[in-house]
Amino acid sequence: MTKDASALKEQIIRELLSLIQAHELGAQIEVGKLVLFLEKEWQHMFQGQQLSMVPLWSFCANATTWSVANFCEVLGPLETKVSGPVVFVWPEVNHHFEPIPPHLVSDVQSALMKVLVDSALRDIVRLDELDLLIEDFVSQASVPLQLEELWQIFAEEGLPPALLEEVFAGFSGASLPVAYDLPEALASGAPAATSGDERHERVVIDVILDCMRQSPVNRIIDPEKLAEHLEEDIVDMWEDGSYNLQELWDILSEVDQISEEMLIHAFLLIEKREDELPVKVWVPARVRNLPQDAKDAIVPPDASEPPKHTARPVIEAPKPKPPSQNLMRTGAFSSASTGSRPSPKTKEKKEKKTKAQPRKKGFEEPELINPNYVISAVVISVVSLLVYFLFVYEGTPSFQGTPMNSVESIVKKYPVAELRIKDKFVYILTNQKYTELSEQEQQDKIFDLVGDLRKKNKELKGAILYSPDKRFINKTKF
């Protein structure tokens, strides 16, 4: 964002807040939530010299009892207070938003699910997770249904614009129980993002190379040749506002000595560092769709730094067929490891060491165990047990702690009745639905839940799991 654009943004937000606070209807707006909304949605609202007030109206419609007329009355003077060539786009005054009638909520949810399940989403999002997401969306939606909000939910999960356009195109002409508005990208025909700039390319290339150096792939490929390849072809990996690394996977998989396990390790390292990247980077679906416990087994989540594989092991020479891949290290496998015959001196020393010692003549009394040793061993054992029970063993904890009211939305997504927190441990009380799942599904659900909780509170030290009747199941330390 340029300096002028940043100054204009600050002026608009400042004047907007001033108008809301000065009007009697403004008391219904929580200023903190409004500011967070504007910061998050600004890029979607302000494009070129055009400021769309429709997303802001959607926020106000869900947070207040305002009508469209109230919205335009409160914020209409904004046009005269902003200096600069800004074109305001207001919601239509006759475009009223009403809650979804209760008897239609289930029908709306089913209709949305039908369109989404018949799209490419069925291969990307698990149906149970999609069902929970739609249920949450419909519970907060109004009529006409704003599909732009649903678009933004999927965009925040990392789905690229081109995929979203394909998915939401299914709503064009679809028969829903209530009126709805298509997302802005479909309604306006806005073009998708074009290309990443050189600065973004450099950051992505550096992260890829660093992850390759930290993986087993480093023993086989030539980093310099890989860097040259990425600098030449990174532009071809740019698709719909993000980088797709499937092509890189395909190229590396053609190298004879690189196994799929090596590639999974390397691309998991890239996935773990996505927060460092300025743009979205898609690792191949083979890596992306792995269960979380399998990912953690390959690249531990608590590891401060992934294991480096910089040392080249001594291995036997490959088959006579010369490697044709241009990414392989030149001469990395050219020398075979050969054994050597021991020298005469070494052999003589070995014989002396293994030669049987002559037995002593006469009767030898058996050596008795010193009683002091026995006493010392007993004392050490007793002290160790005391230390364990006093400082290590924590017993079977009871369901306790302060209820975590701020994570009710998380609880809805998982088979959990209640969450509590105490001493940086989260106490998880499962519900009846949890007991109906298979053992693997139970592990997956709780693991995903703990992952969500750790995003909200990075200081959590572990999780303690209970059955619906508050019986202790297990305890896990992070």
Query: If 0-12 CB within 10 Å is exposed, 13-18 middle and 19+ buried, where does residue 107 land?
Result: middle
- In 401-448 the beta strands, taken as DSSP E runs, fall at 402-403, 416-422, 425-430
Q: What are phi and psi of 305, to 5 degrees?
A: -150, 130
Query: Do 108 and 63 have their domain in common?
Result: no
The reply to whether 159 falls in a domain is yes
Identify the three-state secondary structure at position 108: helix
pLDDT at 268: 92
Domain end among 70, 89, 108: 89
pLDDT at 112: 92
pLDDT at 465: 84
pLDDT 10s digits, 225-262: 888 888 888 888 887 677 889 989 988 988 888 888 89
pLDDT 10s digits, 27-36: 888 888 888 8
Query: Do 166 and 75 have their domain in common?
Result: no
Domain count, the chain: 4
Q: Where in the sequence is the domain holding 12, given as residue range(s)?
A: 3-89
pLDDT at 385: 76
Residue found by looking up tokens 């950051």 in the block: 203
Query: Do 34 and 104 have their domain in common?
Result: no
Query: Do 21 and 84 have their domain in common?
Result: yes
The reply to whether 176 falls in a domain is yes
The reply to whether 258 falls in a domain is yes
* Tally: H helices and E strands in the chain: 21, 15
The reply to whether 162 falls in a domain is yes
Pairing, β 180-181 against β 238-239: unpaired
The reply to whether 342 falls in a domain is no
Residue 416, strand partner residues: 430
pLDDT at 365: 44
Domain end among 29, 54, 89: 89
pLDDT at 363: 39
Tokens for 232, please give them.
């030449």
The reply to whether 406 falls in a domain is yes
Query: Do 202 and 291 have their domain in common?
Result: yes
Domain end among 266, 298, 330: 298
Query: Do 246 and 293 have their domain in common?
Result: yes
pTM to 2 decimal places:
0.29
Query: Do 183 and 102 have their domain in common?
Result: yes
Query: Do 274 and 209 have their domain in common?
Result: yes
pLDDT at 382: 80
The CATH number covering residue 429 comes to 3.30.70
The reply to whether 349 falls in a domain is no
Query: Do 176 and 203 have their domain in common?
Result: no
Pairing, β 280-282 against β 242-244: parallel
Q: Residue 136 in contact with residue 153, Cβ under 8 Å?
A: no
Own/partner pairs for 245-250, CB < 8 Å, 24+ apart?
245/208, 245/270, 245/281, 245/282, 245/283, 245/284, 246/282, 246/284, 246/285, 248/208, 249/283, 249/284, 249/286
Amino acid letter, 27: A
Query: Do 61 and 127 have their domain in common?
Result: no
How many whole angstroms separate alpha carbon 423 and alpha carbon 419?
14
Query: Do 215 and 180 have their domain in common?
Result: no
Interior/surface letters 139-169, b for 16+ CB within 10 angstroms, e for the rest: eebbbebbbbbbbbebbeeebbbebbbebbe
Query: Do 216 and 180 have their domain in common?
Result: no
pLDDT at 159: 81
The reply to whether 376 falls in a domain is no
Q: Residue 91 in contact with residue 146, Cβ under 8 Å?
A: no
Residue found by looking up tokens 């499937």 in the block: 246
CA dihedral (279, 282, 288, 294) in degrees, to 10, reads: -60
Query: How many residues does this entry show for the chain?
Result: 478
Q: Which residues of the chain have pLDDT under 70?
A: 1-3, 92-99, 187-199, 240, 302-373, 387-401, 404-411, 478
